[in-house]
Amino acid sequence: MLILLLSLACTPDEASPTPDTWAFWEEGPELRGSGGPTRTFSEDELWQPCAWLEGGPGDFQHHNLVVPYRGHLVMPWSPEFGTGGISLFDMEDPCAPVKAGEGSAPELRESHALGFFHLQDDGTLPDPAIAGDWMVSTGVLGIMTWDLSDPAAPTPGAYLVIPGVFYPDSYTYVVLSVSVQYPWLFVGAADNGVFVVDISDPRDPVLVSQYLLEPALRVGGVFAMGTLMLVTSAEQSEAAMLDISQPDAPAPIPGGRFATADEEGVPKETYHGNHAGDLAFFARKEGGGGYIAVDISDPTAPTPAGGTTTDGNGGYVFYDEEVLFEGESSIARFYDVSDLGAPVLLGEASLEGDLDTNTPWGNVAVLSVDEDAVDGQATSVVPWTTQPDSRPIEIRRVVPADGEQGVHTQARIGVVLSEFVEPASVWPGSLRLLDEAGAPVPGWTSAQENTATYAPAEELQPGTTYTVEVEGLTDINGNALSEPLRTTFTTAG
């Protein structure tokens, strides 16, 4: 393990809230768009494009994932060499999308991950002027922040160049992903390992540290969940679990390094990975497409959990309520993985070009190609099931775990959901932390794909039992938890 400290600061430059006067918010930010699709489809309409999503002027027709924010679909459009933008769409009728806003930036790079946080002037901010809506993305030579406070005009906030990152290069020394736990940001930077950035002031992000995995691992995806992080590789056959209890000093977990192996136990090269709390999923690249599943419930002993092999070439993979959405370069596939021992192929959809990305969006999927697209058809909307999503969102993992002892006093709380969470439903009130006296612990929330985070504004007290309460989180269709959750953990004495 090698940790290179790049800043004398060990914690973000934060305000000092007063616990006896600070209170959880009475309500979170309202939706600005209509949320998830409400349209019903016939069987004949499934697996065929019903609409196209286009970027703005100068769109190079290189598209990737889409994600929700405050009722809109957020779509980045940029090639790996940079220059592009962000478009927001209202998707109430997914076959008649309405563009709600757009912004561009020459520093934006092909985006594989977007993180969100909504800030209010509640006494915890280093500067009240940063209150608003923020997004973090990758940049050509580092990372970018975006101000989404005006959905009609997303505006670049800051661009941080990270040393050792350069282009042209596709996999070796580039930034491939980000994972947000405001006020911290973890950056997956291929052979440069994992960088940690202080984004407490999103107008002025500060590089704090660098962690290089040993032996070397080409970091593709980083997925922070509380005090744990899943690190997936880019075109390699390994992955790792890291301890991020101290956010500025990631550390290896003994036994947490593992091979991505096929059904016969043979390590296979994968292109991208993702997770569903206790499970990690990997898109197979070597020897055919399909996926590999690994049980990561015990971070010290990840174990194979199944998979399947196809005739594809894996791109990116996402999980949504027991269904795996995978782009396999020439085709998009949908797998029912409710029984990991017997996965079922639900259907297939196609789109001309390098079809790497297949993103769930309620009862439709958003297919994107990042090369060789037909002009105006780099992203399509494809119905995959007939009925709008009405299933309650479910909690799949909480980190620290319920009853966990010896938790670091710099811990953040991660809640992993069964599908993409609507970030607007994640606020200090729907996700909250209380001390032994039942008083609120001041903090911030953030969200990314299926993970919600609560980060205390000050270091926790040693030898103290804290309570986590979760209620009101929703998916993009407004489906809330069927019942609230309450867990506890105790910090190290």
pLDDT at 2 over 60: no
| CATH tag, 43-383 | 2.130.10.10
Cα distance between residue 43 and residue 385, in whole Å: 8
Amino acid 19: pLDDT:
58
Judge whether residue 15 has pLDDT over 60: no
Enumerate residues 6+ apart whose C-beta is below 8 A from 223. Answer: 179, 229, 230, 231, 232, 273, 274, 275, 451
Average pLDDT in the 229-250 region?
Answer: 97
The percentage of the chain sitting over the pLDDT mark of 90, rounded to a whole number, equals: 89
pLDDT of residue 295: 97
Q: What's the alpha-carbon Rg for the chain, to the nearest Å? A: 21
- pLDDT tens across 66-96, in order? 999 999 999 999 998 889 999 999 999 999 9
Look at residues 141, 135, 186, 134 and name the one whose alpha carbon lies nearest to residue 159. 141
pLDDT tens digits for range 308-349: 999 989 899 999 999 999 999 989 999 999 999 999 999 999
Confidence of residue 4 (pLDDT cuts 50, 70, 90): very low
Phi, psi of 67 (to 5 degrees): -145, 160
In CATH, what number does 392-491 get?
2.60.40.1220
Q: The sheet that has 303-309: what strands, in order across it?
A: 270-275, 279-284, 290-295, 303-309
Contacts of 104 (CB under 8 A, 6+ apart): 56, 57, 58, 83, 84, 85, 86
Predicted local distance difference test score (pLDDT) of residue 82: 87
Range list for CATH 2.60.40.1220 in the chain: 392-491
Prediction pTM value: 0.96
Q: Does pLDDT of 10 surpass 50?
A: no
As a whole number of angstroms, the distance between CA 413 and CA 114 comes to: 19
Residue 14: pLDDT above 90?
no
Q: How confident is the model at residue 489, as a pLDDT?
A: 98
pLDDT tens digits, 407-443: 999 999 999 999 999 999 999 999 999 999 999 999 9
**How high is the pLDDT of residue 130?**
98
Contact 172, 166 (CB under 8 A): no
pLDDT interval class at 264 (50, 70, 90): confident
Q: What are phi and psi of 309, to 5 degrees?
A: -120, 135
Mean pLDDT across the chain? 94
Any idea what DSSP says for residue 109? -
Phi, psi of 128 (to 5 degrees): -55, -20
pLDDT at 17: 57
pLDDT given for residue 480 in this prediction:
98
Q: Is pLDDT of 18 > 60? A: no
Per-residue confidence (pLDDT) for residue 172, from 0 to 100: 86
Which CB contacts under 8 angstroms, 24+ apart, belong to 331-340?
A: 331/355, 332/358, 332/365, 332/367, 332/382, 333/289, 333/358, 334/358, 334/365, 334/384, 335/291, 335/308, 337/281, 337/293, 337/306, 340/279, 340/293, 340/305, 340/306
Q: Cα dist. 239→260, 392, 442 in Å?
A: 7, 31, 34
Query: What pLDDT score was predicted for residue 312?
Result: 87
Q: Find how far residue 285's CA is from the centre of its chain.
A: 21
Cα dist. 332→118, 161, 190, 317, 401 in Å? 33, 34, 26, 10, 35
At 116, is the secondary structure helix, strand, or coil? strand
Query: Does 451 score more than 60 pLDDT?
Result: yes
Burial 285-298 (b: 16+ CB within 10 A, else e): bbebbbbbbbebee
Average pLDDT of the segment spanning 436-463: 98
Confidence band for 21, pLDDT divided at 50, 70 and 90: confident
Q: Residue 197 carries which DSSP code?
A: E
Q: Is the pLDDT of residue 169 over 80?
A: no
Sheet holding 194-198, edge to edge: 2-5, 206-212, 194-198, 184-188, 177-181
In the chain, ranges of CATH 2.130.10.10 domains: 43-383
Answer yes or no: is pLDDT of 1 > 50. no
